[in-house]
Structure 1
Amino acid sequence: MTHPTPPESGSVETDDDFTIRDKDNIAAGVDAEVFTANQRIFSGSLGLIFAAACILYTTFHIFVMNFYPLETWLYRLIHVSGGLTLGFIFFSARAFPDELGHKQPVKPLEWILLLPAALLIFTAFGQIVLAIATGDLVPTGAPKDKMLLTFGYPIIIGTALAVLVSWISPVRDRSRIALPDILLAVAAITVGAYIISHAEFLRMRAQVFPHVNDMYAAIAGIVLILELTRRLAGLALVVIVGVFIAYGFIGPWLPGVLEHRGYAPERFFAFIYTDNGILGPTTAISSTYIILFITFAAFLQASRVGEYFVNFAFAAAGGTRGGPAKVAVFSSALMGTINGTSAGNVVSTGSLTIPLMKRVGYSPQTSASVEAAASSGGQILPPIMGAGAFIMAEITGIAYADIVVAAVIPAALYFLSIYFMVDKEALKQGMRGLPREDLPEFGKLARQAFLFIPILTLIGALFLGYSVIRAGTLAMVAAAVVSWLTPFRMGPKQILYAFEIAARMSLQLVAVCAAAGVIVGVIALTGIGTRFSSMLLGLAEQNQLIALMFAMCVSIILGMGMPTTAAYAVAASVIAPGLIQLGIEPLTAHFFIFYYAVMSAITPPVALAAYAGAAIAQSDPMKTSVESFKIGLAAFVVPFMFFYSAPLLMQGEWHQNLHAFVTAALGIYLLASGIQGWFFGAIGKVLSVVLMIAALATIAGGLTSDAIGVTMAAVVFLIQRKLLDKRAMTTGSP
């Protein structure tokens, strides 16, 4: 669970839910760094040391990507090992309590585990340092016992002991790093050093006859990745990875398509820690596109451009009926497209929008649900799509520009659906917007529209043919330059701060992508992806609709409790090949999977974005997740819409694309009206069902179905107007 930074000092309390800030900067503080419940906050010399480490980590990536390319394995191993090291430094095994009480000494049981763990890990560390310094490595064909007692056994046993003691140790001072986590950080460096120094050998032998030390290094690395993933993303992904690892060994005893011949542990684990698994496509994405755009987001955060986005949304929509909910839709879209996690976006913008929604009449549950649905949608909004566009480009080989263009209409339909749902809710409840005198002046903010230049620079550079890396770097530079036209100028100090927070912001996705790489490696080794595709073909019996329904369920289930990037990467590896074999276009198949991976963040029972919103709104998490699902329900039909109507992915002539968008938007409006029971006034259940049927007809995209849908909607309208005329005279109500 995450906690937003507290309100600024000197603010004035107006009610129990919200603190008024300067009306011209109502979003003050929305760009402040958000600290998770288990995150350490260092100060003094320790803070400077670890801030420097973060800056070095980010600078390394930006420098290598732009100026000095490194060999692929070396770069990705430094990326993963550095991320693990920083992760254990900054994030505790458990949440810090609000009150820590008196200082707790290290207990005897902790020492019993800590001392041998430290001895073993530092033995392994010393051995690999000595081996690198002397060149006495473990070449192919080396004796099995070479370095086994000084590296293999110590690294795996020491890592296991350090993880165990980190679980049982009491949580102590938030401003100091725990001894077990120091050991885990050293273990991460040791594993990385071993694999980097032996990469030349591992490329050849990992899939055939690996050394036993290769296996122990890989197992220790996987344990470290899963432990950091647990700390940063919860148990869901860890459990899924555990199931896939178990499958690698129990496959020979499984029935049907799940059966495989089995693998020796040495080959299995060594294979997983190569570019077929952990160092494969998921880490390729996190070490380039994700770290690049998180750094871009950090530049916007450091220059406080995010505040401008939210202020702009308040000025544009805050005064309309249910204004804060519409602000949540707009601001979360702008912030979410550059934010890699739906839950993180909820915390950053929801800390402002949720209390304001409650203020104008939305219930706490609805307020949290709207923010969760809107924040999740930011992941499908071009040009960045929470790094999803780049992941899709990497996996499919489809040009980034084509993916971004294809994403425009589905994203517009998604946010239209959320907008219509909140607008109908506001109409039903008779809500008003915020008083105009409490909102920023639109004219003043319009004169600062130059703050959109970094986003426009990114889009323009990409469509001019620049690489994604070069375009992202230019956008960073643009953010720094534009800041000089504001009171928040980015000098060397602010740029270094942006690099510092970028490293911390990226750690969750580094761990998650590495964990997803384990799954990708198991799929590649066992061939389960191909057999799963065959099973999908058999179940669907060449019926694409059945296959898509199945793919929808799998994508949502895999995405529960996982960030979008990992959910999509895993689902695409398992499901996409089967959909493509059924004749579905690769772009459509991958967009379909990606869309539902995003929707998993608001789908009960494990809806991370809804849970984050519920924590802020102080509403029931499960009820909030159900309502967020309801608010996003109209959006759940969008993937089926672009499956049946290729122009919705910009795959037709301009007039076909326009026609498809207009009719689909009408269908979304009718569907939202039916779900909310409000068309041009309140309607009963029967007319609501008729409207939903009309919506599905217009969504289909054909001229005949459009005519049927419009006719049905017109009939509902005429019936409703007639009822309104009769009742208005007798009851004075619709």
Structure 2
Amino acid sequence: MNNNERSAQERAALDELSELDAEGHDRTLAPGLMIALGLFSACYALFHLAVLNFWSIDEWVYRVLHVNLGAVIAFIGVKAWRGERGTRVPVPDWLLVVTAIGCSAYIIANLDQLIMRTGVITTTGDFICGALGTLVVLEFARRVSGLVLPIIALVFVSYIFIGPWLPGILRHSGFQADNFFSFLYSQEAIFGMTVAASSRYLILFVAFAVFLKASGAGQYFMRLALALFGATRGGPGKVSVFSGLLFGSVSGSAVANVVASGTFTIPMMRRVGYPRESAGAVEAASSSGGQLAPPVMGAGAFIMAEITGIPYSEIILAAALPCLLFYIAIFLTVDRQALRLGLHGIPRAELPGFRELARDMFMLLPLLVLLYLLMSGYSIIAAGTWGLASTLLVMLCRELEFRSTVLALPLTLFVLLPLTGLQVNFAGAIATLLSAGMIVILTVIRGRIKQLPKALRSMAALIYSGMGESSRKSLQLISVMACAGIVVGVLGLTGLGGRFSSLLLTVAGNSQELAFLLAMIISIVLGMGMPTTAAYAIAAAVVAPALQQMGVSALAAHMFVFYCAVISAITPPVAIAAFAGAAIAGGKPWPTSLRAMRFGIAAFVLPFMFYTSPEILLLGHWLDTLHVFGTALVAIYFIAVAGEGQLNGNAHILERCLAALAAILLLWSSLYTDIAGLGLAAGLIAWSRRRVAPPLKAT
């Protein structure tokens, strides 16, 4: 293949990835308009940081500006369709911009009256604002996240008008159009709990991810993964698993995670002999699962806390063990496949050294600050803000060419100053300013004063571009949260959510196992083709209440549907994360998605443990949790054995079936099933060793 053909294939793959990522295609505008858009985007991010930390405004007004100003950025900077040409913003998009700003101005000007009359007494202005504002949200979501969610939202909107003529549980008494749109464009629907979560946390943590990557921490993660696992059997696949765990938590898009790390890990896997479909599948499964990883969980933890009222700290602690089991399961499956295919690792001489990595360990300062403040009980916003501030210290250190050991003092200050009794924002500000001053003084002492102006200019440029990029990368999540609010609002207004729960319980009868299976299927189908956060928000409104009516705890029910929302990204026929992995690897989409399911099979099984063994969510005594976790570890090993057919050599079909049975028995986690599962597992291991046992010598 010549270079031109290879370049054409790479361009085609990038185009395919752009479609799968569904974050829209950026316009190439005239220079003046590009500068204005960049400035507006940076100010949009700074506006959020200001409101979250020290500028108090009305919650409804803040949410309206959060959605509508984001829509303005999308209508100016994102193409209305893929084939759009030209460098100008079309007139219809300017009309959408005016509409978004006009709806915001109407809410601000009539705030007090709207609070009193929303959904009850509707004026003509309320109706026009609600209808046009809903149109803005639908087009915003279509432009940056694709057609799936807007179509679902339109189906629910149409249900309001056709419901009086529908049969059975779908029938409702009807609603007036003006009252409905007034209700929809309120804090009961579009600006309700989903936008509440996105307005408080999304920009902050997307900015944290953007600046963390700019600081070089992302490269450090990859080097650490390479050093730990690169030389082992099938090493690049294990590097992909570990990097997926580290990278995936912050993003709410499985496809974005695949694109971010897969462009590096997939070529490595191909180099050592992974088939194309396997390389794409490993990356898809591990990148999708990153959203299960605390402390951010792809923004899912914040939304779950908003919907359920469960403290955020409880959610991330409950998510820790299932996430660990999921990644151990992928790791073991990758290892068994590497054994089956005879895959080796990367030569140790080509990998980073541990001594070098140890010298750079303080590049992880932002993550350490974030985790420390979160685990110490401080607010999510404070932890995210000062985690973000600490990324600037890492960037300054890098620009001045200091070793990361210089950052030991900032870490000490961030840990100790809050303990003095200072309010956390004051403590964070003091720690940041003292640390920056210390780095400047050290620059003078080392005779590098001439480097300082250049470093500061570079920092200013990085902050400006980083703020703009944070806004752009947040648009998809903001739009889908607003659009999901339409669905949640209709469910609440019509009572359809409760009636659907009753229907699910009726179909399942007295079988809780069947109810959970139906809930999983429905949640996965609802999530296909959508970002995880939107898929979870809808499933939480439709499916989770039915599980709670069966006596399942709110935490277990919502964690169940959240897992289903995550795995919808690797479930055919719309396995968007697997298709993205296939595009990078040059493999076939369907075989890649089927293999991704095989690698991520634990995510299809573990949610049922939330019902059979809630101790895995730390709901119970710690000895029970330890017991359940231990038996689950054995179970996922035998899941890998069953999937890859490797147990002290090639396992035949009966052994694989027995391995799967042992795994199921152990995951059920009762005394009798544990005894049966462990006995079967021990028997299988003993039997398999006959294949490798040396022959007895004749006497």
TM-score bracket for the superposition, by shorter chain length: 0.7 to 0.9
Give the whole-Å Cα distance in 1 for the aligned partners of 2:587 and 2:75: 32
Give the whole-Å Cα distance in 1 for the aligned partners of 2:95 and 2:694: 77
Give the whole-Å Cα distance in 2 for the aligned partners of 1:587 and 1:44: 50
Equivalent in the alignment of 1:410: 322
| Count of residue correspondences | 625
Equivalent in the alignment of 2:337: 425
Name the SS of the counterpart of 1:92 in structure 2.
coil
Equivalent in the alignment of 2:50: 63
> 1:86 and 2:73 equivalent?
yes
Distance verdict in 2 for CA 1:316–1:724, change over 3 Å: closer
Name the SS of the counterpart of 1:260 in structure 2.
coil
The within-5 A match list for 1:149-160 is none
Between stretches 440-449 and 269-278, larger displacement belongs to 440-449
Is the Cα contact below 8 Å between 1:294 and 1:340 reproduced in 2? no
> 1:367 and 2:279 equivalent?
yes
Give the whole-Å Cα distance in 2 for the aligned partners of 1:191 and 1:646: 46
Match of 2:669 among 701, 718, 723: 701
Match of 2:683 among 715, 731, 734: 715
Q: CA deviation at 1:587?
A: 0.7
Name the SS of the counterpart of 1:261 in structure 2.
coil
Is the Cα contact below 8 Å between 2:395 and 2:459 reproduced in 1? no
Equivalent in the alignment of 2:488: 520
Match of 1:547 among 515, 524, 534: 515
Give the whole-Å Cα distance in 1 for the aligned partners of 2:235 and 2:80: 40
Give the whole-Å Cα distance in 2 for the aligned partners of 1:717 and 1:464: 44
Match of 2:185 among 250, 256, 273: 273
Between stretches 202-211 and 36-45, larger displacement belongs to 36-45
Name the SS of the counterpart of 2:85 in structure 1.
coil
Distance verdict in 2 for CA 1:711–1:586, change over 3 Å: same
Is the Cα contact below 8 Å between 2:266 and 2:585 reproduced in 1? yes
Give the whole-Å Cα distance in 2 for the aligned partners of 1:516 and 1:497: 30
Distance verdict in 2 for CA 1:531–1:36, change over 3 Å: closer
> 1:446 and 2:433 equivalent?
no
Equivalent in the alignment of 1:49: 36
More helix by share: 2
Give the whole-Å Cα distance in 2 for the aligned partners of 1:426 and 1:90: 45
Give the whole-Å Cα distance in 1 for the aligned partners of 2:398 and 2:241: 26
Q: CA deviation at 1:697?
A: 1.1
- Percent identity reads 44
> 1:223 and 2:130 equivalent?
no
Match of 1:385 among 297, 322, 325: 297
Is the Cα contact below 8 Å between 1:365 and 1:620 reproduced in 2? yes
Is the Cα contact below 8 Å between 2:284 and 2:581 reproduced in 1? yes
> 1:480 and 2:392 equivalent?
yes
Is the Cα contact below 8 Å between 2:504 and 2:515 reproduced in 1? yes
CA shift digits 1:361-384 (9 cap, x unpaired): 111111111111001111010111
1:538 maps to a residue whose letter is T
Q: CA deviation at 1:360?
A: 1.0
Q: CA deviation at 1:579?
A: 1.2
1:52 maps to a residue whose letter is L
Give the whole-Å Cα distance in 2 for the aligned partners of 1:267 and 1:75: 23
Q: RCO greater where, 1 or 2, for CA within 8 Å and sep 6 or more?
A: 2
1:617 maps to a residue whose letter is A
Match of 1:172 among 66, 81, 85: 85
> 1:322 and 2:234 equivalent?
yes
Equivalent in the alignment of 2:158: 246
Structure 1 gap segments, 5+ residues each:
1-12, 18-33, 97-170, 730-734
Q: CA deviation at 1:463?
A: 2.2
Q: CA deviation at 1:36?
A: 5.9
Equivalent in the alignment of 1:163: none
Between stretches 51-60 and 247-256, larger displacement belongs to 247-256
Equivalent in the alignment of 1:504: 472
TM-score normalised by L of structure 2:
0.86
Give the whole-Å Cα distance in 1 for the aligned partners of 2:248 and 2:696: 44
Equivalent in the alignment of 1:565: 533
CA shift digits 1:249-302 (9 cap, x unpaired): 111122222111011111111111100100101111111111211111122122
Is the Cα contact below 8 Å between 1:302 and 1:497 reproduced in 2? no
Q: CA deviation at 1:223?
A: 1.9
Give the whole-Å Cα distance in 2 for the aligned partners of 1:320 and 1:581: 48
The within-5 A match list for 1:63-142 is 63-96=50-83
CA shift digits 1:2-43 (9 cap, x unpaired): xxxxxxxxxxx9x979xxxxxxxxxxxxxxxx9966222457
Distance verdict in 2 for CA 1:569–1:727, change over 3 Å: farther
Q: CA deviation at 1:703?
A: 3.3
Q: CA deviation at 1:717?
A: 2.0
Is the Cα contact below 8 Å between 1:301 and 1:498 reproduced in 2? no
> 1:344 and 2:256 equivalent?
yes
Q: CA deviation at 1:512?
A: 0.6
1:229 maps to a residue whose letter is A
Is the Cα contact below 8 Å between 2:24 and 2:79 reproduced in 1? no
Q: CA deviation at 1:623?
A: 2.4
CA shift digits 1:382-432 (9 cap, x unpaired): 111111111111111111111111011000011111111111111110001
CA shift digits 1:446-471 (9 cap, x unpaired): 22121222122112112222111111
Give the whole-Å Cα distance in 1 for the aligned partners of 2:674 and 2:57: 55
Equivalent in the alignment of 1:578: 546
Name the SS of the counterpart of 1:486 in structure 2.
helix
Q: CA deviation at 1:586?
A: 0.8
Give the whole-Å Cα distance in 1 for the aligned partners of 2:92 and 2:518: 44
TM-score normalised by L of structure 1:
0.82
Give the whole-Å Cα distance in 1 for the aligned partners of 2:644 and 2:320: 26
2:394 maps to a residue whose letter is V
Distance verdict in 2 for CA 1:330–1:363, change over 3 Å: same
Is the Cα contact below 8 Å between 2:286 and 2:330 reproduced in 1? yes
Equivalent in the alignment of 1:31: none
Equivalent in the alignment of 2:428: none
CA shift digits 1:236-259 (9 cap, x unpaired): 112211111111111112222211
Between stretches 481-490 and 716-725, larger displacement belongs to 481-490
Q: CA deviation at 1:649?
A: 0.7
Structure 2 gap segments, 5+ residues each:
8-20, 402-454
Give the whole-Å Cα distance in 2 for the aligned partners of 1:416 and 1:289: 29
Match of 2:593 among 609, 625, 632: 625
Give the whole-Å Cα distance in 2 for the aligned partners of 1:231 and 1:728: 71
Between stretches 411-420 and 453-462, larger displacement belongs to 453-462
Distance verdict in 2 for CA 1:263–1:435, change over 3 Å: same
